[in-house]
Structure 1
Amino acid sequence: MNTSIIRQLWSIVEKSSAKILVNLDDSDLVSQLLKKLDAQCSLSSEDLQVMKVYFRSKTVLIRDIARSRLEDFFD
């Protein structure tokens, strides 16, 4: 797995609307993040599959980060 792609993923998570990330179901969350990542770096089909698996394994963490951002916003 390419580390620069992973850095881009987490950058996308940080820039995405926390409210949207929290409210999407797992499938839509992975799909939206993949689309944004692919738009930034034109992933090969193999890279897309690898990142899809990676995203699926990180959905809880992504939502935790988004919830934390929402809590910080309302505090």
Structure 2
Amino acid sequence: MPDNIVPFRSASSTGRNAPASAEMYDLLSKIDELEDLLEALDEQGVTTRGELVALISRLETEAAARDASPPSRS
């Protein structure tokens, strides 16, 4: 079984174990969110916080330039 798979026990979702199950679900959901974020950063070639800040700044500059330019006629 892969390391990131946690076996589900139906008994743990009832009774006194319900809070623990909810915590486990929240934890696994957060892991999924972070894995999605990591994948998105990888797709953009971002490996550091500085690169992310630079990418955001560049995209904001591009967006502002496009917003300031007159609309193109099709």
Q: With structure 1 as the length reference, what TM-score do the two structures score?
A: 0.31
Which of structures 1 and 2 has the larger relative contact order (alpha carbons within 8 angstroms, sep 6+)? 1
Q: Which has the higher helix share?
A: 1
